[in-house]
């Protein structure tokens, strides 16, 4: 094989597939990438068996072929070449001895026969939805935090994608809180449902653009989900089994409704968190009255309270939370003002908008007061 790359393009393609390269593995293949050139296409492939990524890169194909190279080493060599203008030449002989040349520098490293590589599984491409890269990036960012890696319940480490009546619902929950984002799809799609490991979605989020004009196609198959965008394919295993029954946890009833500046509330809660040492589990207490929300923390480090102006309807309420759970939700919401709905001190609160694009459920904690 003999290929010539432009450095910036190769670096970009490598940074995409590197996201599926295992860092902690004893398998030589799982810490490698496959470079293959055939039919006038050069493709990079990487897999950690859970997640597989394939991307196409522009190159001059002097001679077609393929090689498997250590991903970290090859990527470091390419990145360290000076010029972004000069071509990087990759030459592989029949024993997979690989020569990488750029300007006055030459590297010789050992490659592996491509037949050793684990190919990306082929899946049916019947059932799919399409949405903008921007939307997908946003919904993952706005839900990824309420997950938990747990051996007891693997579903907490996944995100439900539930397509129904051309609305895609993205849901995560970790036992203390739940995050829901709904996206109206442009087009007519069949109903679909699957649970994707959050790590896979996070890698997709890191690769895709914040571009509203470019789309992602998402294909659903029995054991896998496939994301197709630009010149890249990301294939992930999905989690076996049923997701939680989330409908039973939701409620539109409330006794107290608060409308508050998102940033002012977030800032006051972040102040209160200073006094809470990790593992101390001290609650933050909210005192909700007409026009004013008072939050306070009393811990081994000291005592604090802060007042935030609100608009309130319904009953006064005293309720306690783990402040981090409230802040995590407030941080990812885009609205300047949010509505928070409460029932009583033992029931979850809901942060949600009127258009039903997001719902954050947060369980309160016990307190003495």
Smallest Cα–Cα separation from 135: which of 90, 168, 171?
168
Q: Are 288 and 256 in contact (CB under 8 A)?
A: yes
Quote the tokens at residue 138.
């946003």
Smaller CB separation from a copy of itself, 80 or 125: 80
Minimum distance between the CB of residue 256 and a copy of itself, rounded to whole angstroms? Answer: 21
Distance of CA 117 to the CA centre of its chain: 27
Q: Are 178 and 159 in contact (CB under 8 A)?
A: no
Minimum distance between the CB of residue 275 and a copy of itself, rounded to whole angstroms? Answer: 7
Task: Determine, following the binding rule CB under 8 A, whether residue 306 of this chain makes contact with a copy of itself.
Answer: yes
Q: Among 2, 61, 86, 107, which residue sits at the site for a copy of itself (rule: CB under 8 A)? A: 107
Q: Is the dihedral of CA 314, 316, 320, 325 positive or negative?
A: positive
Q: Among 76, 116, 191, 211, which residue sits at the site for a copy of itself (rule: CB under 8 A)? A: 76
The SS3 call for residue 254 is coil
Quote the tokens at residue 132.
């903008």
Quote the CA–CA distance of 324 and 363 in Å, as a whole number.
12
The one segment of 3-11, 108-116, 278-286, 337-345 that binds a copy of itself by CB under 8 A:
108-116
The one segment of 28-36, 184-192, 254-262, 304-312 that binds a copy of itself by CB under 8 A:
304-312
Q: Among 27, 49, 58, 82, which residue sits at the site for a copy of itself (rule: CB under 8 A)? A: 82
| Unique residue bearing structure tokens 């993205």 | 170
Task: Determine, following the binding rule CB under 8 A, whether residue 80 of this chain makes contact with a copy of itself.
Answer: yes
The one segment of 35-43, 46-54, 107-115, 122-130 that binds a copy of itself by CB under 8 A:
107-115
Task: Determine, following the binding rule CB under 8 A, whether residue 279 of this chain makes contact with a copy of itself.
Answer: no
Q: Among 14, 18, 131, 308, which residue sits at the site for a copy of itself (rule: CB under 8 A)? A: 308
Quote the CA–CA distance of 37 and 67 in Å, as a whole number.
9
Minimum distance between the CB of residue 276 and a copy of itself, rounded to whole angstroms? Answer: 11
Smaller CB separation from a copy of itself, 188 or 303: 303
| Unique residue bearing structure tokens 């200073």 | 274
Minimum distance between the CB of residue 105 and a copy of itself, rounded to whole angstroms? Answer: 4
Q: Which residues 6+ apart lie within 8 Å of 296 measured at CB?
A: 272, 284, 285, 287, 303, 304, 305, 306
Task: Tell me which residues in 231-270 interact with a copy of itself (CB under 8 A).
Answer: 267-268, 270
Smallest Cα–Cα separation from 321: which of 244, 243, 262, 268?
268
Q: Among 56, 305, 328, 353, which residue sits at the site for a copy of itself (rule: CB under 8 A)? A: 305
Q: Are 137 and 210 in contact (CB under 8 A)?
A: yes
Quote the CA–CA distance of 64 and 294 in Å, as a whole number.
69
| Unique residue bearing structure tokens 């039973």 | 248
Minimum distance between the CB of residue 73 and a copy of itself, rounded to whole angstroms? Answer: 6
Smaller CB separation from a copy of itself, 98 or 236: 98
CA angle in degrees (0–180, nearest 5) for 254-256-257: 95
Binding-residue total with a copy of itself (CB under 8 A): 28
Task: Determine, following the binding rule CB under 8 A, whether residue 81 of this chain makes contact with a copy of itself.
Answer: yes
DSSP 313-336: EE--EEEEE-HHHHHHHHHH---S
Task: Determine, following the binding rule CB under 8 A, whether residue 8 of this chain makes contact with a copy of itself.
Answer: no
Task: Tell me which residues in 132-171 interact with a copy of itself (CB under 8 A).
Answer: none
Contacts to a copy of itself by CB under 8 A: 70, 73, 76-77, 80-82, 104-110, 267-268, 270-271, 274-275, 301-308
């Amino acid at each position: 094989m003999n290929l010539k790359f432009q450095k910036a393009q190769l670096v970009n393609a490598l940074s995409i597939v590197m996201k599926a390269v295992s860092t902690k593995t004893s398998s030589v293949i799982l810490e490698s990438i496959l470079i293959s050139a055939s039919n006038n296409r050069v493709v990079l492939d990487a897999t950690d068996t859970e997640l597989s990524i394939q991307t196409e890169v522009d190159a001059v194909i002097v001679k077609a072929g393929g090689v498997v190279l250590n991903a970290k080493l090859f990527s470091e060599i390419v990145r360290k070449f000076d010029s972004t203008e000069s071509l990087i030449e990759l030459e592989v002989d029949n024993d997979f001895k690989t020569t990488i040349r750029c300007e006055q520098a030459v590297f010789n490293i050992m490659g592996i026969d491509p037949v050793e590589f684990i190919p990306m599984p082929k899946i049916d491409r019947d059932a799919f939805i399409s949405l903008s890269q921007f939307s997908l990036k946003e919904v993952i960012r706005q839900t990824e935090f309420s997950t938990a890696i747990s051996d007891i319940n693997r579903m907490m480490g996944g995100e439900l994608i539930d397509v129904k009546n051309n609305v895609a619902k993205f849901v995560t929950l970790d036992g203390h809180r739940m995050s829901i984002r709904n996206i109206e799809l442009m087009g007519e799609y069949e109903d679909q449902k699957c649970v994707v490991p959050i790590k896979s979605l996070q890698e997709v989020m890191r690769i895709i653009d914040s571009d509203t004009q470019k789309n992602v196609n998402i294909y659903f198959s029995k054991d896998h989900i496939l994301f197709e965008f630009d010149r890249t394919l990301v294939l992930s295993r999905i989690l076996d089994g049923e997701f939680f029954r989330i409908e039973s946890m939701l409620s539109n009833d409330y006794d107290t409704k608060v409308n508050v500046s998102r940033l002012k509330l977030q800032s006051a809660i972040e102040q209160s968190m200073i006094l809470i040492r990790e593992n101390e589990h001290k609650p933050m207490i909210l005192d909700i009255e007409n026009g004013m929300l008072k939050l306070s923390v009393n811990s081994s480090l000291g005592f604090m309270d802060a007042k935030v102006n609100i608009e309130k309807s319904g009953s006064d309420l005293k309720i306690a939370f783990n402040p981090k759970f409230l802040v995590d939700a407030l941080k990812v919401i885009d609205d300047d003002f949010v509505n928070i709905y409460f029932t009583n001190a033992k029931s979850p609160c809901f942060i949600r908008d009127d258009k039903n694009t997001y719902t954050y459920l947060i369980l309160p904690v016990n307190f003495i007061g």
